[in-house]
């Protein structure tokens, strides 16, 4: 269970980010936690994602595969290959949260 105090800390960070960078910036609230359910008295920010242990393992595998691909034949020197590999392994800023985290849910009353 993700406790209220923990989800409130995430919400505070989201609020700070909005105040600091403005409403036009896309914010993806992410918490690292073994559970995906927020206690019923907690309010997760809209769109909250959770890096669970299983998803972290998937992410680690993707980063390793990405690094291996770039190390092959000095591919890291070619910006197009770097970009293609980021996309292929779902490591871009837009793809990473969806590919390597799960949505938080709120405990039912």
pLDDT tens, 26-39?
999 999 999 999 99
What is the tally of structural domains in the chain? Answer: 1
What does the pLDDT read at residue 56?
97
pLDDT at 108 over 90: no
pTM score > 0.85 for this model? Answer: yes
d(CA 41, CA 11): 14
Three-state secondary-structure class, residue 65: helix
User: Exposure string (b/e) for 29-56, b if CB count within 10 Å is 16 or more?
Assistant: bbbebeebbbeeebebbeebbbbbeebe
The rounded mean pLDDT for the chain is 96
Tokens of 40: 């019923």
Q: Which of 36, 28, 38, 40 is nearest to 55 (CA)?
A: 36
What does the pLDDT read at residue 12?
96
63: domain range?
4-106
């Amino acid at each position: 269970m993700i406790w209220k105090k923990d989800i409130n800390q995430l919400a505070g960070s989201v609020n700070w980010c909005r105040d600091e960078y403005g409403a036009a910036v896309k914010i993806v609230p992410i918490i690292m936690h073994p559970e995906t359910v927020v206690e019923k008295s907690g309010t997760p920010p809209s769109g909250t994602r959770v890096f669970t242990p299983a998803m972290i393992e998937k992410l680690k595998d993707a980063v390793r595969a990405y690094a291996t691909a770039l190390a092959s034949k000095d591919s890291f020197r070619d910006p197009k290959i770097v970009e293609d590999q980021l996309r292929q392994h779902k490591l871009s800023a837009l793809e990473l949260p969806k590919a390597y985290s799960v949505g938080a849910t709120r405990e039912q009353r």
